[in-house]
Every structure is written in structure tokens, then in C-alpha cells.
Amino acid sequence: TGCPPVVVTARGLPGGTARVRGNVSSQFLSGLLMAAPYAREPLTIRVEGELVSKPYVEITLAVMRSFGVDVPSDEDLQSFAVPQAKYKSQTFAIEPDASAASYWFAAAAITGGTITVTGLDSNSLQGDTRFVDVLRQMGCTISERPQSLTVTGGKLRGIDIDMNTISDTVQTLAVVALFAEGPTRVRGVAHNRHKETDRIGNLAIELRKLGAQVDEHEDGLTIIPAPHSASSHGAYHGASIATYDDHRMAMSLALAGLRIPGVVIENPKCVEKTYPEFFEDLARLLK
């Protein structure tokens, strides 16, 4: 189909110089970085074009460093000099998934409630913890303690924001934007069109089903909320939401059902890719 999975047959890596595109996904670069210390010669990796999702590459380098391999890079993460080295076994604490945590932070924003997620704070490796800073700009209150982040919803306002470094939370933000005063413009995420689905075009289609106006751009979208009314859901209405076999489409759009009656998620099992218990946890939240 022109995309992974692929079968690789090899007799080891020779080293030298490798070039990898960075404008669609950082995952290919991360995979190459992790394998490169075992090349027969040192390997220089050069990134062609803009590197998207830089925080994920920073995570890769930090984890490699924890296991004994330090990889020098330039400031813009466009060039890496990977030495020949062997990883050293360690006891390593794995952080909770900050991308998955974004759904619960968004739930607090949408409902005006309070939610605390433990195991994450501003010192976490994952860039998606910065999603709470986006919610702060929109009017939420953020409280931090060591190893916990708390979001309390407030009167939401639309914002204009570049989400290139936290692009996995764009769908989550788009649902929060439905309940804000004024439009929300998301920029810098053209690469989202090449994820599990077109996370710009298809997201726009599903938001429109609920009654929002959405303007699609090459690098993002603008969500213009439906007029608010005395009801909790304003001028929105329920709809059957297609997931395109994309776990993030299912989890983010399900949050709209916290305020809009009649939201139905098609193929909910697609969440098994990263969060099999999502809907069970959502049900517990509503008790």
C-alpha cells in the first residue's frame, strides 16, 4: 500500500551517512536512532526538510541516554552523530501516556469539572503534557504538584495556536473548541494528514456533523462554534461519528458526548491500539 508495515532483510548496518525525511513523521528517525549504535561504523543521520514532532525525538535521545548511549545533535535536531555503542541494562520507570491523558484534561475543560492525572508534571519527557498550557490559554485553571497535573474547567475562549510539537492532541483540542466563545485556529500540523487518517480533513467532516462550522487549511483548521443557547449543548446535535480506524478520532470525538446528547462512536474497538479501557474509564467518570 506504499506505507508500513514493511519487511526488512539485512546483514547489519554498515554505518556512514544516512538521510531521512522529517516532514511527515518523526518515528522513522527515532527508529533509526535507536538501531544506529549497533552499526559497524559510526553513523551520521541528517534530516531532510523540517522535522515535525521534535519532542518525540527528544524523548528518544533521553531514553537512549538513560541506557548508556549519548547521541550528539545540533540545536535544531537536523543532524545526529551516533557513536558505536552498546546499551546498558537499567531499571527504567515509564511515564503514563501524556497523549491519552489529554482526553481527561479535555473532559474537565468541556464539563467545567476538575480532573487530576497522576504520574505527569511539567518535568515529564513527553511534549504532550503541554496540552494543559493550551487549556490554560483557553480559560482553564491548571494546578501542578510533583507527579500530578490538575485541570479545572472555566469559561472557554477560542485561541490561535501552533500545535506542531503536540500534534497528537489536535483532535482533543478541536472538541474543546466546540464549547468556547469565538473561533479556534490550529496551525502548523500539515503532517497530521498523514497519520492513521487525514486528521485535518476527516476531523473537519466529523465536527460538521455535530453542527460546528469548520474551515480547513493546508496546515490545520479553524473551528467556529455553533451559537450558544440556554441549553447545555447550544445549537449542536447528536450524530454518528466515523472513526476511520483512528483511535484518536474515537476518543476525542467521544468527549463531545459529555455535552451533546446522541453522539455515537462507530467502531469503538479501534481504541485498542493505545487505550483498550478508554470507554470503561469514561463510563466510570460519568458515575
Query: What residues are annotated to the active site?
Result: 168
What type of residue is 81? A
How far apart, in whole angstroms, are the C-alpha atoms of residue 143 and residue 128?
A: 16
The CB-based long-range contact list for 263-272 (8 Å cut-off, 24+ gap) reads 263/210, 263/238, 263/239, 264/238, 264/239, 264/240, 265/241, 266/240, 266/241, 266/242, 267/243, 268/243, 270/243, 270/245, 270/246, 271/247, 272/247
CA distances, 77 to each of 22, 69, 115 (Å): 10, 17, 35
Q: Which residues contact 16 (CB under 8 A, 6 or more apart)?
A: 41, 43, 44
Which of 50, 45, 47 shows the shortest CA–CA distance to 64? Answer: 45
